[in-house]
Amino acid sequence: MLNDNNYKKHYVISGIAIGIVAIYICRLFFLQIIDQSTKEKADNNALVRQTIYPGRGLIYDRNDSLLVFNQPIYEVMFISKEMGDHFDTLGFCKAMDITRAEFDERMAYVTDRNRNRSYSNYTQQVFRGQLSKEDISVLQQTLFNFPGISIRKRTLRDYTYCSAAHLLGSVGEVNQRDIDNDPYYQAGDYSGRDGIERRYETILRGEKGVEVLMRDSRGRIQGSYHNGELDHEPLAGQDITLSIDIRIQLLAEQLLSGKMGSVVAIEPHTGEVLALVSSPAWDPHTLVGRQRSQNYNKLLHDPHKPLMNRALQAQYPPGSTFKLLQALVGLQEGGITEQSMYPCNGPSSTPIKCTHNHGSPVSLEQAIEQSCNPYFWQAFRDILQKDGYGKQNKNFRANYERWRKDILSFGFGSKFEDSDIPDQVSGSIPSTAFYDRYYGKTGWKAITIRSLSIGQGEILVTPLQLANEAACIANEGYYITPHLLHNDSSLTRHTTNVDPKYFPVVKTGMHRVMTNGTGRWYNIEALNMCGKTGTVQNPHGKDHAVFIGFAPMDDPKIAVAVVVENAGFGATWACPVATLMMEKYLTDSISRPDLVNKLTTTHFISE
């Protein structure tokens, strides 16, 4: 040992040891100090942010009838890793009431990472969602037989009435765009997809709660993290009360059954929408839960386009209902006076013939009562040409523009911007520029656009706008933005360009429509109804039946617009719907059950 010439080798050996430890410390330095991703990965591993879904707000009608509520549903979940090799598949199929083939198919789908990218052996996967309490009752009792299977509770929308599907809208799973736009949402969340559900989503949805849990490597929950310091309780969504009166909503839907058309009823002095009906419609229950997408597709491909909310999105020429505005604007602009009389030659009148038999000349009230086309043509002409054409048609064009502005002041030609009614379309009252494009600046005059005088031609309005027109007349000169939320005081009062003093004569005319004119067959004397029928020529088929009106005359509580497509006379098909609704709303009773029956059973479209 004394003459050990290998002595120095212990430096090499020590050096090797030091070198290895040094390399390992560098590695630790990299992993623990430099690499920032590991902390996040560790949290993703171990922490589960379990969302606790708040109850969605309920929806009531103006009389506090519950319209929309929540119904618990169940999801059967599984964790493959925990199911083990001895899983009783047949027993499970039996408990779920499915066949072995269905089981295999579902499992193949869920466990295929190409189709289900979030799949993991270790995490909960949905085996079957949206099951009712009955669906899972057998499984629940025998759950202990099936390791790795669990049942999760969520809620779905449920509806008291098979009604108001368009208006209420539906709730469905969020898409990627929603998730990108609003950090509130995560994949798998539900949100209001349309209608009121979407419009008031932020109120109805509430605040999600969260529970931060720790899970082990097999995905089993091991308790709360940091004693629940990071948890917070969900905050249930707020309930909302709609201005809708479900009684007349239901009645209107019944009356429109088997027809294409729509009804809008408004409480004139508040602008609250009492009924908003589009037909054909669907049972809102069908767009809930598992069958949602399948049923939605069916609706999407239905030739009658039930998904279109005709009350808001269908655009028609207003027909004779427009004559009321013509009268008001004429009085305002001085084209006519309350005493103006115009001759009517009945069916041989030119350039527009009259479709009713009455004496001549006619006064304004009579003209409204008899829906006299020649009167309103002559009135329209005199509004536009009251001071001639002037140079370059200047006076005429200015008068037309004034006329148009007056019409627009009744809410036509644009959406009700501050309204909570979703998916409106604007309709159209043609501008001078519109006609200039067709005819040139001097190429058109009153005779060119004579159809406008009787509400035909290039004018397009929506049923909602028609109802609003009725409300304007009922209110004698103003309207409150039509809206759906009950007791909403934030809405604007819009004054029309027509002086209130011109309204009574038109109202009287409308009253006479109901007592002596086209509405007389369906009038209820006691309710003091006012109305105006319309029969809109339709180049694509049979005329559309239209009616607007309100009641009672002196203190209007309800204004209604009804459109029944391809039905024929407004007096025959639209007027009775409106008067039944007025009656129901004002007296909460129906005195003409036969009429209800007749309308309900008359179908213009095949089911």
Partner 1 sequence: MNRRTNIWNAVDWVTVLIFLALAVFGWLNIYGAGYSFEQTSMFSFTNRAGKQFIWLLTAIVLGLVILLIDEKTYDLFGYWFYGAMILLLILTPFLAHDIKGSLSWITLGPISIQPAEFAKCFTAIAVAKYMGRYEYHYRDWHDLIIPGVMVILPMLIIMIWQQETGSALVFCAFLLTFYRQGMSGLVLLAGVLAAIIFVVVIRFGLIPAFIILIVIFGIVLWRIWNHPRVHKYILIGMLVLYLGFSYACTYAFQHVLQAHQRTRIEVLLGMKDDPTGAGYNVNQSIIAIGSGRFFGKGYLKGTQTKLKFVPEQDTDFIFCTVGEEWGFIGSCAVLILYLIFILRLIRIAERQRDTFSQVYAYSVAGIFLVHLTINVGMVLGLLPVIGIPLPMFSYGGSSLWGFTLLLFILLRLDAARMNKLL
Residue 155's DSSP bridge partners are: 72
Report the residue number, 110 or 255, with the smaller CB distance to partner 1.
110
Report the residue number, 230 or 300, with the smaller CB distance to partner 1.
230
What value, to the nearest 5°, has the Cα angle with vertex 462 and ends 459 and 467?
A: 115
25 binds partner 1, rule: CB under 8 A: yes
210 binds partner 1, rule: CB under 8 A: no
Report the residue number, 14 or 132, with the smaller CB distance to partner 1.
14
Two structure tokens written together for 172:
């469905």
Please identify, among the stretches 37-45, 256-264, 549-557, 588-596, the one whose residues bind partner 1 according to the rule CB under 8 A.
37-45
Exposure on the CB side of residue 566, measured as CA atoms within 13 A: 13
Report the residue number, 28 or 138, with the smaller CB distance to partner 1.
28
392 binds partner 1, rule: CB under 8 A: no
10 binds partner 1, rule: CB under 8 A: yes
Output the DSSP codes for 113-151: TTT-TT--TTS-EEEEEEE-HHHHHHHHHTGGGSTTEEE
- For 482, which DSSP code? P
Candidates 214, 408, 425, 605: give the one binding partner 1 (CB under 8 A): 214
Instruction: Report the largest interatomic distance among the alpha carbons of the chain, rounded to a whole angstrom.
Output: 146
Residue 562's DSSP bridge partners are: 263, 547
38 binds partner 1, rule: CB under 8 A: yes
Please answer whether residues 330 and 380 qualify as being in contact, where contact means their C-beta atoms are separated by less than 8 angstroms: yes
555 binds partner 1, rule: CB under 8 A: no
494/492 Cα distance (integer angstroms): 6
Report the residue number, 39 or 290, with the smaller CB distance to partner 1.
39
311/249 Cα distance (integer angstroms): 13
Candidates 157, 193, 198, 215: give the one binding partner 1 (CB under 8 A): 215
* Residue 109-148 contact track with partner 1, rule CB under 8 A, x = bound: ------------x---------------------------
532/453 Cα distance (integer angstroms): 15
Report the residue number, 147 or 361, with the smaller CB distance to partner 1.
147
Report the site for partner 1 in 327-346 (rule: CB under 8 A).
Answer: none
Please identify, among the stretches 9-17, 51-59, 70-78, 100-108, the one whose residues bind partner 1 according to the rule CB under 8 A.
9-17
1 binds partner 1, rule: CB under 8 A: yes
For residues 136-154, one letter each, b for 16 or more C-beta atoms within 10 angstroms of the residue's C-beta and e for the rest, the string is: beebeeeeeebebbeeeee
* Least distance in angstroms from the C-beta of 228 to partner 1: 13
Report the residue number, 16 or 138, with the smaller CB distance to partner 1.
16
3 binds partner 1, rule: CB under 8 A: no
Report the site for partner 1 in 237-276 (rule: CB under 8 A).
Answer: none
Report the residue number, 98 or 213, with the smaller CB distance to partner 1.
213
Report the residue number, 38 or 145, with the smaller CB distance to partner 1.
38
Please answer whether residues 311 and 462 qualify as being in contact, where contact means their C-beta atoms are separated by less than 8 angstroms: yes
* Residue 88-107 contact track with partner 1, rule CB under 8 A, x = bound: --------------------
Please answer whether residues 274 and 242 qualify as being in contact, where contact means their C-beta atoms are separated by less than 8 angstroms: no
Report the residue number, 8 or 540, with the smaller CB distance to partner 1.
8
Name the 3-class secondary structure at 547.
strand
196/556 Cα distance (integer angstroms): 27
Please answer whether residues 376 and 454 qualify as being in contact, where contact means their C-beta atoms are separated by less than 8 angstroms: yes
Two structure tokens written together for 429:
């009252």
6 binds partner 1, rule: CB under 8 A: yes
Report the residue number, 26 or 90, with the smaller CB distance to partner 1.
26
* Least distance in angstroms from the C-beta of 232 to partner 1: 21
Sole residue written with tokens 């005081």: 489
Residue 513: closest CA among 338, 336, 367: 367
* Least distance in angstroms from the C-beta of 292 to partner 1: 34
* Least distance in angstroms from the C-beta of 119 to partner 1: 11
Please answer whether residues 395 and 373 qualify as being in contact, where contact means their C-beta atoms are separated by less than 8 angstroms: no
# residues contacting partner 1 (CB under 8 A): 42
Please identify, among the stretches 25-33, 305-313, 331-339, 367-375, the one whose residues bind partner 1 according to the rule CB under 8 A.
25-33
Please count the residues of the chain: 607
Report the site for partner 1 in 47-76 (rule: CB under 8 A).
Answer: 47
317/301 Cα distance (integer angstroms): 27
223 binds partner 1, rule: CB under 8 A: yes
Which alpha helices (H) appear in 256-393, and where do they start and end? 292-300, 310-313, 323-333, 364-370, 373-384
Report the residue number, 18 or 138, with the smaller CB distance to partner 1.
18
Amino acid in the structure at residue 123: T
Which alpha helices (H) appear in 151-306, and where do they start and end? 165-168, 176-181, 195-199, 201-204, 246-255, 292-300
Please identify, among the stretches 12-20, 326-334, 466-474, 486-494, the one whose residues bind partner 1 according to the rule CB under 8 A.
12-20
230 binds partner 1, rule: CB under 8 A: no
Strand order across the 47-52 sheet = 47-52, 209-215, 221-224
Candidates 23, 108, 187, 447: give the one binding partner 1 (CB under 8 A): 23
Two structure tokens written together for 197:
């559900």
Please answer whether residues 449 and 393 qualify as being in contact, where contact means their C-beta atoms are separated by less than 8 angstroms: no
Please identify, among the stretches 210-218, 252-260, 362-370, 404-412, the one whose residues bind partner 1 according to the rule CB under 8 A.
210-218
Q: Which residues bind partner 1 (CB under 8 A)?
A: 1-2, 6-7, 9-10, 12-14, 16-18, 20-21, 23-25, 27-29, 31-33, 35, 37-39, 41-43, 45-47, 121, 214-218, 222-223, 225
